[in-house]
Structure 1
Amino acid sequence: MNETIKAQLFRKLAEKQARMIEIYRYLHAHPELSFQEENTAKYIEEFYAGKDCDVRTHVGGLGIVVTIDSGKPGKTLAIRADFDALPIQEETGLPYASKTPGVMHACGHDAHTAYMLTLAECLIEMKEQLEGKVVVLHQPAEEVPPGGAIGMIKDGALDGVDNVFGIHVMSQMPFGNVYYREGNVQTGRANFRVKIQGVGGHGSSPHKANDAIVAASYFVVAVQSIVSRRMNPFDVGSITIGSFDGKGSFNVIKDSVFLEGDVRSMSEETRTLIEKEIRAKLDGIAAMFEVTYGLDYENDYPVLFNDPELTAFAADALQATEMPGVIGIERCEAQPPSEDFAYYAKERPSVFLYVGAAPEDGEAYPHHHPKFRINEGSMLVAAETMGTLVVDYLKGSSEK
């Protein structure tokens, strides 16, 4: 009996797993920060050298777009993997730990790139069995606003693309499981910086000054009432003051204070409400304490929306396929972090999935932790998952 296209793909992926892990470990040891990933981009470009595909580099900066054309009519599906790292000092003790002080792949983007390169190589080798086109989006700078996705989109990365799929490995989800959810799945994000300007003075004569610390402290407390008292209890939102720069001398009344904050929301309406209320609180505090303020408020990553119809297709395709490395397919809860894949989803109906990557032993540290690590087997699960979606999307669901 002839081998089905999926069985052939899974066999190829398994045969290349050792190489996949080698790629992952190399990338993990050589991380680069967002918008600075020159060597990583060069590594990805060189991987495709001599392969039967079209490679476009410097897309929206350091992005790389690879087109795998079957030569047959059909839809065009984009699949995305990011490749930037974080400004974190690694503490994993792994033999392939970061060789760059203060920089670490603490979110799994190295794993995304390793699985995607391996899957793309397999799809290139099998492209005559497919229909339509696969567009591989190797994206830089997911971690830092404005993010790499928006630049790639502006530079034509989605031209001719019908839909987009993405996957994120998740260190605190059980290994072997794949998770999906329709609708709003990850929060939108904003950040702000505030300077509250008072009048400095001597601690012995507060009546001759106007204490910026007192005014700023009231703002920190007041802003927390936005979620508890201004938002609908059924909506999702959070406000974090992550920085309060009021350091000075014990006997000096501060002239000015700088604050920085983070906002998350699960709808654009909530995001608009929170910004409006933050501005109103600052206006009130300025009047109450007779201070002035400067506000820099930036809305960046939108809410990530998974197209319900396409999500149902993905769930059905995965549940109907026996993937060697996959234990279960489950619907999950929405995820609190933000993700610039949301920009693709605003342009084309898209789906973002999650692959469990909890380590085999030891504590499963969260993403962005200096001891973050994944189960290396999760990359094969991700490749099988994305490969299944590519085959069923381009070839139809008749062959399982």
Structure 2
Amino acid sequence: MSEPPRFDRGHTDDLMSFLTASPSPYHAVASAAERLEKAGFRQVAETDAWDGTTGGRYVLRGGAIVAWYVPEGAAPHTPFRIVGAHTDSPNLRVKPLPDTGAHGWRQVAVEIYGGPLLNSWLDRDLGLAGRLTLRDGSTRLVNVDRPLLRVPQLAIHLDRSVSAEGLKLDKQRHLTPIWGLGSDVRDGDLIAFLEESAGLPAGEVTGWDLMTHSVEPSAYLGRDKELLAGPRMDNLLSVHAAVAALTAVSSGGADLPYIPVLAAFDHEENGSQSDTGADGPLLGSVLERSVFARGGSFEDRARAFAGTVCLSSDTGHAVHPNYAERHDPTHHPRVNGGPILKVNVNNRYATDGSGRAVFAAACEKANVPFQSFVSNNSMPCGTTIGPITAARHGIKTVDIGVAILSMHSARELCGADDPYLLANALVAFLEG
């Protein structure tokens, strides 16, 4: 039997605020933690002893967050229901020696992170955000959310063939942004500017993890505003939906048969192999410690994992009206058609038939439509944290998401209804 939906278009409004507040993975987990705190969750340190009492908890590690809610009466062997996502997006990231320039232009040296659509970063007003590490080892978030940087495109008069032959960008030579004028390059200038912006003493910063972001705000688009354009939807759209679903479930007073979990990892866009990535030990460590904190044994841990299901939620490809031939001819996911179930028989996605049944049941309970996605056989298929989670932890995993256009662009496009449709499906899944 279907239930009244938890979320509506107001959820999409809130997503826009979340995207603005989260220009880096570090800001994204801070934004998620703030929402969890308001819902009664409390942060626990990995270096502390944990207790197994009822309530919500979360762990922060760099650009990753794992949060869970222990319902009243949960046994040590109670299985988990996990929503997995990632906090990172392709962009331009600042190099260890950032100050550079030529011909009277002051520039910032950047490295390409992940697989961005490089042309989408041209002629766009960019801010700079991330974290600064101080002399005492502590960190400070920084966000210069105004036009600070720009990667200028070459004028067509100096490249007459660009319209006919396409734009060709050299990652080393053509993507260095400008941020001012000056005949000399002064080492330490960018970091000194950021120290001042963050209200820190000069020379206090000894390390940094910084990246560019588009300062153009998210916006509804179209005649009837049925579309949403914005940055970092891949994959903060899923992170936001998972946080909303977890807080809703934890405050609903339901007699939960599972322990609901949010796991949002960093570094998905470059392989997930880090201490904050899905291929690292973070999720397994948190789940095991939760079992042991409730007095469980290794046998209880094995029983809990055997009954656990994870939804790996990441954006997928909506059918593109100008490139329909690039899609499978019988699978054309449409925006505002509900979340997509991703399938690949070569295990680029982790979904199998039994996993499909779990997701179908959740969507039916939430009265949410869903669609199926499979790649064109002639095109390589992307992947997600789904297969990594399934293989590393022995957990049944299902790959899902929201269909978007312009994936990996500095600004992406989705249907304005799909974010809250996903959130409603996640609520039903977490409730069991």
TM-score (norm 1): 0.54
Q: Distance in 2 between matches of 1:20 and 1:331?
A: 23
Using the TM superposition, give the Cα deviation of residue 355 of structure 1 relative to its aligned residue in structure 2, in angstroms: 2.7
Using the TM superposition, give the Cα deviation of residue 65 of structure 1 relative to its aligned residue in structure 2, in angstroms: 1.4
**Residue equivalent to 2:79:** 75
Shift in alpha-carbon separation, 1:305–1:156, aligned structure 2, 3 A: same
Q: Distance in 2 between matches of 1:314 and 1:23?
A: 23
Q: Distance in 1 between matches of 2:315 and 2:70?
A: 27
**Residue equivalent to 1:201:** none
Counterpart of 1:385 in 2: which secondary structure?
helix
Bigger drift between 71-80 and 17-26 goes to: 17-26
Shift in alpha-carbon separation, 1:93–1:377, aligned structure 2, 3 A: farther
1:130 paired residue among 233, 256, 260: 256
2:236 paired residue among 105, 110, 115: 110
Structure whose CA Rg is larger: 1
Q: Distance in 2 between matches of 1:384 and 1:97?
A: 33
Which digits, 9 at most, give the CA deviation of each residue in 1:183-207, with x for residues without a partner? Answer: 63xxxxxxxxxxxxxxxxxxxxxxx
Q: Distance in 1 between matches of 2:85 and 2:11?
A: 18
**Residue equivalent to 2:65:** 64
Shift in alpha-carbon separation, 1:41–1:29, aligned structure 2, 3 A: closer
| Aligned pairs for 1:27-106 within 5 A | 27-28=19-20, 30-32=22-24, 37-52=25-40, 53-59=55-61, 61-73=62-74, 74-87=78-91, 99=145, 101=149, 102-103=212-213, 105-106=231-232
Q: Distance in 2 between matches of 1:322 and 1:48?
A: 23
Counterpart of 1:379 in 2: which secondary structure?
helix
**Residue equivalent to 1:151:** 280
Shift in alpha-carbon separation, 1:128–1:92, aligned structure 2, 3 A: farther
Counterpart of 2:398 in 1: which secondary structure?
strand
Q: Distance in 1 between matches of 2:339 and 2:428?
A: 12
Using the TM superposition, give the Cα deviation of residue 29 of structure 1 relative to its aligned residue in structure 2, in angstroms: 6.0
Bigger drift between 152-161 and 96-105 goes to: 96-105
Shift in alpha-carbon separation, 1:373–1:152, aligned structure 2, 3 A: farther
Shift in alpha-carbon separation, 1:67–1:370, aligned structure 2, 3 A: closer
Matched, 1:373 2:377: no
Counterpart of 1:56 in 2: which secondary structure?
strand
User: Is the CA contact 1:31–1:84 (under 8 Å) kept in the aligned structure 2?
Assistant: no
**Residue equivalent to 2:3:** 7
Matched length: 251
Matched, 1:166 2:154: no
Q: Distance in 1 between matches of 2:10 and 2:122?
A: 25
Q: Give the RMSD, CA atoms, in angstroms.
A: 3.4
Counterpart of 2:84 in 1: which secondary structure?
strand
Q: Distance in 2 between matches of 1:322 and 1:78?
A: 17
TM-score (norm 2): 0.50
- In structure 1, runs of 5+ residues without a counterpart are 185-265, 268-302, 358-364, 395-400
**Residue equivalent to 2:341:** 180
Which digits, 9 at most, give the CA deviation of each residue in 1:298-326, with x for residues without a partner? Answer: xxxxx4322432222322443x4462xx4
Counterpart of 2:91 in 1: which secondary structure?
coil
Shift in alpha-carbon separation, 1:56–1:371, aligned structure 2, 3 A: closer
Percent identity between the two aligned chains: 11
Using the TM superposition, give the Cα deviation of residue 121 of structure 1 relative to its aligned residue in structure 2, in angstroms: 1.7
**Residue equivalent to 1:310:** 355
